[in-house]
Amino acid sequence: METSYYLAVDLGATSGRTVLAAFDGQKVELRELTRFKNPMIPMSGHLYWDLPALYYQVLQALKRVAEERIPLVSVGIDTWGCDFSLFTADGRLASLPYSYRDAHTEGSMEKFFARVPAETVYGHTGIQFMEFNSLFQLDTLKREGCKALEMAEKILFTPDALSYLLTGQAVAEYTVASTSQLLNPSTGDLDAELLAALGLPRGKFGRVVLPGTVVGRLTPQVRRYTGLPELPVVAVAGHDTASAVAAIPTVDGDFAYLSCGTWSLLGVEMAHPVITADSFRHNFTNEGGLDGTTRFLKNICGLWLFERCREEWHDAPSNVAELAATCETSSYEGLIFPDWEGFAHPLSMPQAIRDYCGRTGQEAPQTPADYCRCIFRSLALRYRQVVEQLRTMVDIPIRRLHVIGGGSLNRHLMQYAANATGLPVVAGPSEGTALGNALVQIRTAGGTDSLAGMRRLSVASVDTVTYEPSGSPEWEEAYARFSRLQVQ
């Protein structure tokens, strides 16, 4: 079979990359073309994303493809969830999109629940409650009289906004739309009652499309700028976690998965949503996956804790792996609850951790090594807690934990996760999101015919590392302490 090529645009909430996927019929090989930062822009008292800059980076990658004369089959874009862009009737960007880290949604859930009860919202969507969900972002903008929202004729989630700029076609890809707390999984469309509560007509949002749908083709302007032909843009699994989960290298379903990066998303793959009193009480979410599957999972504040601390450790090793390894030189025993609200967007993450330790009667960490040990061990214990909650709500046998994303390269966190959960941890691929993005494009082009086929290709294409649990009683004692801390 002649090798075919696909461009995966993979945008995270701190950085982005474009990856060229080469498929020879048996396996997929990835080559990073470009990598760039995606900073939040502090401006006028708010935090924004620079969507035009991200679009420019996509164009530059397409230009490079043309310059290298790569016979590209298609392009696909995945990003983080919840955030959206506003466009006027003539296709112009009405304003820079807000970042989900912006504090303007603080207290927004309670204001919305005064009109629509929380139980009703969860019953219609099955999505966990977080103040930055699109539902609450839109309600905040509406209440504050946002002029850009008033002018907007199109409200497009981030991957769909970039596809719109490339093709002129407005869609709402299913997996990213499911993160918004606006999608009703029973109908497969945006929920009419919630839209009515927002005072927004359905027509302002693109039509819902499933992963693998061809959104459109590059516009004449994009073709002139890049030098490429009329290439199709494919709606992949637009939510980065959905793309990553699609690329899990496995041939069975007896596992939980952990997408490990800025966020840790831990869950299982289900044939249907789980919307019950228990899932509501534990605030679990039902996000869309491929082939009608549901990603039943919990969002956990992940390596954001570590990344934000690194920004202030000017005397610590600059190499991430070297810095992470310092956790083994510390004997610090303090723990934090990673999802404490004070860790969401503090001015100083080390100070927030010290504050938490003070609130819980613990000695504060003193060195970067102490902080690393505290963060990694606390995350591992949170993973155990979520796995135990999953086991009470689903009947899937969880015999191992598959870890995908950049965090899978952190061998210390991976071993801690195995020790804490008592499960073998299968780490890799680290570039699972880009691989899943490419696999959806390959499937669209006829290279495979199912999600199972995509995962068989992943097994053939990637290497993994398995970490076995140690079974040390130290972890049982640590978990008991962790369980008492979380209410603070």
Alpha-helix runs per DSSP H in 107-210 = 108-113, 118-125, 134-143, 147-151, 158-167, 174-177, 192-198
| 59 & 201 share domain | yes
| 352 & 228 share domain | no
- Token readout for 69 is 């004369």
Residues of the chain with pLDDT under 70: 486-488
| 169 & 198 share domain | yes
User: Where is the domain boundary, 241, 263, 298?
Assistant: 241
User: Where is the domain boundary, 241, 264, 279?
Assistant: 241
| 271 & 368 share domain | yes
Q: How far apart are CA 488 and CA 323, in angstroms?
A: 29
- Token readout for 102 is 């912006």
State CA 4 to chain mean position distance. Answer: 28
pLDDT at position 488: 43
Tens-digit pLDDT profile for residues 204-251: 999 999 999 999 999 999 999 999 999 999 999 999 999 999 999 999
User: Where is the domain boundary, 241, 271, 288?
Assistant: 241
| 237 & 256 share domain | no
Out of 78, 160, 240, 370, the active site residue is 240
Active site residue 240: yes
The most distant pair of C-alpha atoms in the chain lies apart, rounded to whole Å, by 64
| 109 & 151 share domain | yes
Q: Does residue 440 lie in a domain region?
A: no
Q: Which domain holds residue 270?
A: 248-428+448-488
Cβ atoms of 316 and 367 closer than 8 Å: no
For the domain that residue 140 is a member of, what is the CATH number?
Answer: 3.30.420.40
Q: How far apart are CA 22 and CA 87, in angstroms?
A: 35
Query: DSSP 3-state assignment of 464?
Result: coil
- φ and ψ of 129, to 5 deg: -90, 115
- In 10 A of CB 46, how many CB atoms? 14
Give the residue from 288, 251, 268, 249 showing the smallest Cα distance to 404.
Answer: 249
Give the residue from 43, 50, 47, 42 showing the smallest Cα distance to 16.
Answer: 50
pLDDT at position 345: 85
| 267 & 388 share domain | yes
pLDDT at position 471: 76
Q: How far apart are CA 157 and CA 170, in angstroms?
A: 10
State CA 462 to chain mean position distance. Answer: 21
| 227 & 258 share domain | no
pLDDT at position 487: 46
pTM of the prediction? Answer: 0.94
State CA 166 to chain mean position distance. Answer: 22
Number of residues assigned to the chain: 488
Q: What is the DSSP letter of 258?
A: E
The domain tally of the chain equals 2
Q: Does residue 438 lie in a domain region?
A: no
Tens-digit pLDDT profile for residues 5-35: 999 999 998 899 999 999 999 999 999 999 9
| 313 & 358 share domain | yes
Alpha-helix runs per DSSP H in 20-100 = 51-67
pLDDT at position 1: 80
* Residues sharing a CB contact under 8 Å with residue 164, sequence separation 6 or more, in sequence order: 87, 91, 154, 156, 170, 171, 206
